Amino acid sequence: MFQHDRLNNEITFLQKIKNLDYILIISVALLSIISLFVMYSTDGGEILFHTKNHFVKLSVFFPLMFLVAFFNIKFWHNFSYIIFLLVILLLIWVSFFGIKSSGSQRWMDLYLFVLQPSELMKVAIIMCLAKYYHRLKIENVNSFTSIMIALSIISIPIIFVISQPDLGTSILIASSGLIILWLGGVKVKYFIYSFVTFLISLPFIISFLKPYQKLRILTFLDPDRDPLGAGYQIIQSKIAIGSGGFEGKGFLKGTQSYLDFLPEKHTDFIFTLFSEEFGFIGSIGLLILYSIIIFRIIRIGSISRSNFARLFCFGYAFAIFIYIVVNLSMVLGLLPIVGSPLPIMSYGGSSMLSTMIGFGIVLSAKINHKQMIA
């Protein structure tokens, strides 16, 4: 019997190729190609720094997705805690020896490229909690000890990320972690208690924010209070999106972008440039593409026999959804500017690396969707 199960779990390379989710792969590939054209646009219609670097990173990280996928999902289950601890060590290292830029200390120089460990934590936290709830007995899910352990797993990296400081990424990590708690079976009442506690302690939390973080909140509430200073970016973003209209101004014809009215258009505000050039139709098309990706991830989770694979896929689908919602809400002025990249589209190697690793683990779950993990 055990010999039979072992043989069933062994998948040939051709079977792995066959079991891949090609709709997900094609959707990610299309998104990558679109991101290259948009990056080309940010460089003024020339192949300059951002376009070249984005192409190089895609050329490395897109194949990396397949490399990750071809490792058995059991491998990622077994090493989830170790990967989480390694990323924690990277966060600690960055806290003491990281590169400082614009008042933040978030990056480490790996010579070939600069790594932001907090981006890797977005995937590592989902892996760690997915394994934790995979191995936790159902009757212990809502025990005080189990919930405290799960909250500690979430809190430890957040402490390091906030200290960098990087409030936006810490919120995204917390959101990803909390959804795994909910998927793992933690009762809704505990989330309500936590939310009430958060509201009560909000004045205390705000007192610890950096001056520029407080300014972002005030600017969000009233961008016109400083239209040429703190409110400039969000005002220009709204103008650019609105000027795109229904059909857009056309590829390489965005005036707000090309006349440099819009700062940081290649990173967190990449959607603004895209929306100005391709309008409402293009924006809806992009959102449909993201929706297909999220739907495919959820579908892979739903057919996976392993609880670890299900939890990871559902958690990662929610994480991608949150990243998109936060980014779009930010550029539309519905949320304060918190520094949240748009997956694949935004310029940034660490974000792309983290996203492709996540997609790779999802594809690994698809390849091995019939496999049980003890």
- Flag whether 6 is in a domain: no
Question: 81-112: buried (b, 16+ CB within 10 Å) or exposed (e) per residue?
Answer: eebbeebbebbeebbeebeeeeebbbbbeeee
Q: Does residue 261 form part of some domain?
A: yes
- Predicted structure pTM score: 0.90
Confidence label for 1 from pLDDT (cuts 50, 70 and 90)? very low
Q: Is residue 99 assigned to a domain?
A: yes
Query: 27 lies in a domain?
Result: yes
Write the pLDDT tens digit of every residue in 174-218: 999 999 999 999 999 888 888 888 778 777 766 666 676 666 666
Per the domain annotation, does 9 fall within a domain? no
List the domain range (segments joined by +) for residue 361: 16-367
Residue 308 forms part of a structural domain: yes
> In angstroms, rounded to a whole number, what is the distance separating the alpha carbons of residues 152 and 117?
19
d(CA 104, CA 210): 11
Q: Is residue 182 part of a domain?
A: yes
- Looking at the domain assignment, is residue 96 inside a domain? yes
**How many structural domains is the chain composed of?**
1
Among residues 213, 225, 193, the alpha carbon closest in space to that of 337 is found at: 213
Neighbour count for residue 214 (Cβ, 10 Å): 13
Question: Where is 187: in which H helix or E strand?
Answer: none
Per-residue pLDDT tens over the stretch 273-326:
899 999 999 999 999 999 999 999 999 999 999 999 999 999 999 999 999 999
Q: Are 319 and 172 in contact (CB under 8 A)?
A: yes
What are residue 107's DSSP bridge partners?
99
Q: Nearest 5 degrees, angle CA 40-CA 44-CA 45?
A: 55
Q: Which DSSP letter does residue 267 get?
A: T
Question: pLDDT tens across 37-85, in order?
Answer: 999 988 887 888 889 999 999 999 999 999 999 999 999 999 999 999 9
